[in-house]
Chain A
Amino acid sequence: MVLIYSDNYMSHDQGYLRFIYYMSFFNASMLGLVTSSNLIQIYIFWELVGMCSYLLIGFWFTRPIAANACKKAFVTNRVGDFGLLLGILGLYWITGSFEFRDLFEIFNNLIYNNGTNFLFVSLCALFLFVGTVAKSAQFPLHVWLPDAMEGPTPISALIHAATMVATGIFLVARLFPLFIVIPYIMNLISLIGIITILLGATLALAQKDIKKSLAYSTMSQLGYTMLALGMGSYQAALFHLITHAYSKALLFLGSGSIIHSMEAIVGYSPDKSKNMVLMGGLTKHVPITKNTFLLGTLSLCGIPPLACFWSKDEILNDSWLYSPIFAIIACLTTGLTAFYMFRIYLLTFEGYFNVHCKNYSGKKVACSIQYLYGVKKVKKQLKKNAMDFDILSKWLNPATNLLHKNLNNYGDWYEFVKNAIFSVSISYFGIFLASLLYNPVYSSLQNLDLINSVAKKVPKRIFWDKIINKVYNWSYNRGYIDGYK
Chain B
Amino acid sequence: MLEHFCECYSDLSGPIPCPVLGSITPLFIPNSRIRPIRLIGLCASLITFLYPPVPRIQFDPSTATSQFVESLRWLPYENINLYLGIDGISLFFVILTTFLIPICISVGWSGMRSYGKEYITASLIREFLMIAVFRMLDPLLFYVLPESVPIPMFIIIGVWGSRQRKIKAAYQFFLYTLLGSVFMLLAILLILLQTGTTDSQISLTTEFSERRQIFLWIASFASFAVKVPMVPVHIWLPEAHVEAPTAGSVILAGIPLKLGTHGFLRFSIPMFPEATLRSTPFIYTPSAIAIIYTSSTTSRQIDLKKIIAYSPVAHMNLVTIGMFSPNIQGIGGSILPMSSHGPVPSALFLCVGVLYDRHKTRLARYYGGSVSTMPNLPTISFSSTLANMSSPGTSSFIGEFPISVGAFQRNSLVATLAALGMILGAAYSLWLYNRAVSGNLKPDFLHKFSDPNGREVSIFIPFLVGVVRMGVHPKVFPDRMHTSVSNLVQHGKFN
The listed residue (A54, A74, A82, A92) touching B419 by CB distance below 8 A is A82
* Chain B residues with CB below 8 A from A82, complex form: 419-420, 422-423
The listed residue (B392, B393, B415, B434) touching A89 by CB distance below 8 A is B415
* Chain B residues with CB below 8 A from A43, complex form: 392
Within residues 55 to 77 of chain A, which ones have a CB less than 8 A from any CB in chain B? Answer: 58, 61-64, 66-68, 70-71, 74-75
Interface size class on chain A is: 20 to 34
Q: Is the Cβ of B430 less than 8 Å from the Cβ of A74?
A: yes
Interface segment among B181-189, B404-412, B479-487: the answer is B404-412
Q: Is the Cβ of A93 less than 8 Å from the Cβ of B427?
A: no
When chains A and B are docked, how far (Å) is the Cα of A319 from the Cα of B313? 51
Q: Is the Cβ of A78 less than 8 Å from the Cβ of B422?
A: yes
When chains A and B are docked, how far (Å) is the Cα of A48 from the Cα of B369? 24
Q: Is the Cβ of A66 less than 8 Å from the Cβ of B438?
A: yes
The listed residue (B419, B422, B439) touching A64 by CB distance below 8 A is B439
Q: Is the Cβ of B434 less than 8 Å from the Cβ of A67?
A: yes
The reply to whether the CB of B34 lies closer than 8 angstroms to some CB of chain A is: no
The listed residue (B372, B408, B440) touching A93 by CB distance below 8 A is B408
With A44-B393, A78-B422 known as contacts, the answer to whether A86 contacts B427 (CB < 8 A) is no
B406 to chain A, nearest CB (A): 10
A30-59 contact mask (Cβ, 8 Å, vs B): 1 or 0:
000000000010011101100100100010
Within residues 424 to 461 of chain B, which ones have a CB less than 8 A from any CB in chain A? Answer: 426-427, 430-431, 434, 437-440
Chain A residue nearest in CB terms to B371: A61
Chain A residue nearest in CB terms to B409: A93
* Chain A residues with CB below 8 A from B416, complex form: 86
The reply to whether the CB of B391 lies closer than 8 angstroms to some CB of chain A is: yes
Q: Is the Cβ of A75 less than 8 Å from the Cβ of B405?
A: no
When chains A and B are docked, how far (Å) is the Cα of A97 from the Cα of B137? 37
The reply to whether the CB of A177 lies closer than 8 angstroms to some CB of chain B is: no
A386 to chain B, nearest CB (A): 42
Q: Is the Cβ of A48 less than 8 Å from the Cβ of B393?
A: yes
The listed residue (A45, A58, A74, A86) touching B438 by CB distance below 8 A is A58
With A82-B420, A82-B422, A85-B419 known as contacts, the answer to whether A67 contacts B386 (CB < 8 A) is no
* Chain B residues with CB below 8 A from A209, complex form: none
Within residues 210 to 231 of chain A, which ones have a CB less than 8 A from any CB in chain B? Answer: none
* Chain B residues with CB below 8 A from A71, complex form: 430-431, 434
Question: Which label, helix, strand, loop or mixed, suits the secondary structure of the A interface?
Answer: helix
The reply to whether the CB of A81 lies closer than 8 angstroms to some CB of chain B is: yes
The reply to whether the CB of A152 lies closer than 8 angstroms to some CB of chain B is: no
Chain A residue nearest in CB terms to B431: A71
Chain B residue nearest in CB terms to A77: B426
B387 to chain A, nearest CB (A): 12
Chain B residue nearest in CB terms to A124: B412
* Chain A residues with CB below 8 A from B437, complex form: 61
Q: Is the Cβ of B408 less than 8 Å from the Cβ of A61?
A: no
When chains A and B are docked, how far (Å) is the Cα of A51 from the Cα of B393? 11
When chains A and B are docked, how far (Å) is the Cα of A92 from the Cα of B401? 12
The listed residue (A45, A47, A70, A78) touching B434 by CB distance below 8 A is A70
* Chain B residues with CB below 8 A from A64, complex form: 438-440
Count chain B residues whose beta carbon lies closer than 8 angstroms to a beta carbon of A. 29
* Chain A residues with CB below 8 A from B386, complex form: 51
When chains A and B are docked, how far (Å) is the Cα of A404 from the Cα of B130? 69
Chain A residue nearest in CB terms to B441: A62
A403 to chain B, nearest CB (A): 35
* Chain A residues with CB below 8 A from B412, complex form: 89-90, 93
* Chain B residues with CB below 8 A from A45, complex form: 392
* Chain A residues with CB below 8 A from B405, complex form: 89, 92
With A71-B434, A89-B408, A90-B412 known as contacts, the answer to whether A62 contacts B439 (CB < 8 A) is yes
Q: Is the Cβ of B371 less than 8 Å from the Cβ of A78?
A: no
When chains A and B are docked, how far (Å) is the Cα of A339 from the Cα of B209? 78
A148 to chain B, nearest CB (A): 15
B54 to chain A, nearest CB (A): 34
When chains A and B are docked, how far (Å) is the Cα of A93 from the Cα of B397? 19
* Chain B residues with CB below 8 A from A180, complex form: none
When chains A and B are docked, how far (Å) is the Cα of A90 from the Cα of B372? 44
When chains A and B are docked, how far (Å) is the Cα of A198 from the Cα of B386? 36
The reply to whether the CB of A205 lies closer than 8 angstroms to some CB of chain B is: no
A120 to chain B, nearest CB (A): 9
When chains A and B are docked, how far (Å) is the Cα of A92 from the Cα of B440? 45
The reply to whether the CB of A79 lies closer than 8 angstroms to some CB of chain B is: yes
With A43-B392, A89-B404, A93-B408 known as contacts, the answer to whether A61 contacts B438 (CB < 8 A) is yes
The listed residue (B372, B393, B419, B430) touching A62 by CB distance below 8 A is B372
Q: Is the Cβ of B422 less than 8 Å from the Cβ of A62?
A: no
B195 to chain A, nearest CB (A): 39
A59 to chain B, nearest CB (A): 10
Q: Is the Cβ of A47 less than 8 Å from the Cβ of B440?
A: no
* Chain A residues with CB below 8 A from B404, complex form: 85, 89
When chains A and B are docked, how far (Å) is the Cα of A71 from the Cα of B401? 23
- Additional A-B contact list (15), CB under 8 Å, known A40-B401, A61-B369, A74-B426: A43-B392, A61-B371, A64-B439, A67-B438, A71-B434, A78-B422, A81-B423, A82-B423, A85-B404, A85-B422, A86-B415, A89-B404, A90-B408, A93-B408, A93-B409
Q: Which residue numbers of A lie inside 8 Å of B, CB to CB?
A: 40, 43-45, 47-48, 51, 54, 58, 61-64, 66-68, 70-71, 74-75, 78-79, 81-82, 85-86, 89-90, 92-93
> Could you write out 28 A-B pairs with CB less than 8 Å apart?
A43-B392, A44-B392, A44-B393, A44-B397, A45-B392, A47-B392, A51-B386, A61-B369, A61-B371, A61-B439, A63-B439, A64-B438, A68-B434, A70-B434, A70-B438, A71-B430, A75-B427, A75-B430, A78-B426, A78-B427, A85-B419, A85-B422, A89-B404, A89-B405, A89-B408, A89-B412, A92-B408, A93-B412
9 A-B pairs with the lowest CB-CB distances in the bound complex, closest first:
A67-B438, A44-B392, A61-B438, A89-B408, A78-B426, A64-B439, A67-B439, A47-B392, A78-B423
